[in-house]
Amino acid sequence: MRKWHRWISVFFGIFMLWIAATGFLSQVAVLWPAGEVTPEAAAAATPPEGFTCPDGWRCLPPRADATGIRGMVGTFHHLHSGETFGPIGTAISVLSGLALVFFSISGIWLYVQMWANRSKRSLKPRWFWK
């Protein structure tokens, strides 16, 4: 199990670093302080008088504060999900998620094996090493 854990981490570690970085940037962009909304931006975001949203549509006016880094949330999301790179990017993103599940399970498995081996040799089993 340790050999698989190490070999898969060599390949998927690069992609997981990419996914972690773009996920972090997308959250930073959402949490970034919004600039002050100008009256012109508020007027531009207001729908015209008499406008009604057609049935089944989700009509939202453009966000007035979607400037600077806040305007890049969509870009970060597409990079994070792999959509920017087409079907291959999406497949690598899904496989990286599955690899993360594998790393979680195999890491716990390796830890339990190490703990069991240590407990057999020692009279006092401990959860953590010194």
Give dist(CA 59, CA 67) in Å, integer.
Answer: 20
What region does 73 belong to: left with phi over 0, alpha with psi -120 to 50, or beta? alpha
Q: What is the DSSP string of 83-95?
A: GGGHHHHHHHHHH
Quote the pTM value.
0.56
> pLDDT tens digits for 65-84?
566 777 788 888 888 888 88
Q: Give the CA dihedral 68, 73, 74, 78, nearest 10 degrees.
A: 120
> pLDDT tens digits for 27-54?
888 777 766 767 776 777 777 788 888 8
